[in-house]
Structure 1
């Protein structure tokens, strides 16, 4: 990463504001990240959230873990993790 003088790339007013917090030290400004989070664009996150709610509901209504794992094609371990994640 290359050193850049703030006075060369930022407006003078902004440099003055930053100097109120940091003077003479290096400061890292992270890259702006405007990407959507996983599953938000395709709706996968919502689908999995709804599926997990159904799994928890079935368990609370007396269905056993083995039956639920076969119904959703998930391992019993995964079903337990889903159930325990919402307790």
Structure 2
């Protein structure tokens, strides 16, 4: 994190107002964003996992066994079963 001197970047009136609350201390001013990005949204990991899970569900529906899915996707049997169980409850997952 880079620290900058408030005298160099803030208008005098704003600096004076801030000094009523904080003097000689470092403060963090967060970025102005409507919301923080959720896990995996920026890296694409979320979409990648969603796609993988749709593929697992599709293969299972076509008759591929859980044991074969475990071998193919290198996931535990419990993980495969959880993925399979989530789709009937969330039909909108197939359209994403």
Same fold (TM over 0.5): yes
For 2:59 and 2:66, the matched residues in 1 are separated by 9
Equivalent positions of 1:11-22 (< 5 A) are none
Q: How many residues align?
A: 56
Moved over 6 A (4+): none
Q: Deviations over 1:39-58 (max 9, x none)?
A: 10000000000000000000
Q: Deviations over 1:17-66 (max 9, x none)?
A: xxxxxxxxxxxxxxx87210111000000000000000000000000000
Query: TM (normalized to structure 2)?
Result: 0.56
Query: SS of the residue aligned with 1:34?
Result: coil
Query: SS of the residue aligned with 1:86?
Result: helix
Query: TM (normalized to structure 1)?
Result: 0.61
Equivalent positions of 1:11-50 (< 5 A) are 34-50=35-51
* Structural RMSD (CA): 1.3
Query: SS of the residue aligned with 1:63?
Result: coil
